[in-house]
Amino acid sequence: MLDLKFIRENPQSVKEGIAKKGEVDRVDEVLNLDTKRREIIQRVEVLKGRRNTVSAEVGKLKREGKDAGAIIAEIDGVKNQIKQYDDELSQIETDLNKLLLTIPNIPHPDVPVGKTPEDNKEVSRWGEIVENDFEMKQHWDLVQKLDIIDFERGVKVTGAGFPIYKEKGAKLQRALINFFLDEAATRGYKEIQPPLMINTASATGTGQLPDKEDLMYTIPRDEFFMVPTAEVPVTNIFRDEILSEQQLPIKFCAYTPCFRREAGSYGKDVRGLNRLHQFDKVELVKFVHPEKSYDELESLREDAERLLQLLGLPYRVLLMCTGDMGFTQTKKYDLEVWAPAQKRWLEVSSISNFESFQARRMNIRYKPTGGGKPEIIHTLNGSGLALPRVVAALLEQYQTPEGKVIVPKALHKYTGFEVIG
What is the count of structural domains for the chain? 2
Confidence of residue 44 (pLDDT cuts 50, 70, 90): confident
Provide the 10 A C-beta neighbour count for residue 316.
Answer: 17
121 in the same domain as 81 = no
Residue 195 lies in a domain: yes
Per-residue pLDDT of 257-279, as tens digits, reads 999 997 655 555 678 999 999 99
- Cα 339 from Cα 347, distance rounded (Å): 10
DSSP 6-48: HHHH-HHHHHHHHHHHT----HHHHHHHHHHHHHHHHHHHHHH
pLDDT of residue 62: 64
8 A C-beta contact, residue 197 and residue 221: no
Contacts of 42 (CB under 8 A, 6+ apart): none
Contacts of 352 (CB under 8 A, 6+ apart): 297, 326, 328, 329, 331, 332, 333, 380, 381, 382
77 in the same domain as 39 = yes
Per-residue pLDDT of 171-182, as tens digits, reads 999 999 999 999
pLDDT of residue 264: 52
Residue 110 lies in a domain: no
8 A C-beta contact, residue 142 and residue 342: no
Please report, rounded to a whole number, the percentage of residues in the chain having pLDDT higher than 70: 94
Residue 107 lies in a domain: no
Domain that holds residue 288: 117-420
8 A C-beta contact, residue 377 and residue 289: yes
pLDDT > 90? residue 59: no
184 in the same domain as 289 = yes
Q: In terms of Cα–Cα distance, which of 284, 206, 296, 294 is closest to 251?
A: 284
165 in the same domain as 90 = no
Mean pLDDT value across residues 371-391: 97
Per-residue pLDDT of 108-163, as tens digits, reads 999 999 999 999 999 999 999 988 889 999 999 999 999 999 999 999 999 999 99
Mean pLDDT value across residues 302-327: 97
Task: List active site positions.
Answer: 260, 275, 347, 350, 389
Output the average pLDDT for the chain: 93
CATH code at position 251: 3.30.930.10
Strand partners, 382: 284, 351
89 in the same domain as 236 = no
Q: How many CA atoms lie within 13 A of 107 on its CB side?
A: 25
- Cα 47 from Cα 6, distance rounded (Å): 29
pLDDT of residue 23: 95
Q: Which of 100, 129, 163 is the last residue of a domain?
A: 100
Confidence of residue 288 (pLDDT cuts 50, 70, 90): very high
pLDDT of residue 77: 76
Mean pLDDT value across residues 210-234: 94
pLDDT of residue 138: 96
Mean pLDDT value across residues 386-395: 98
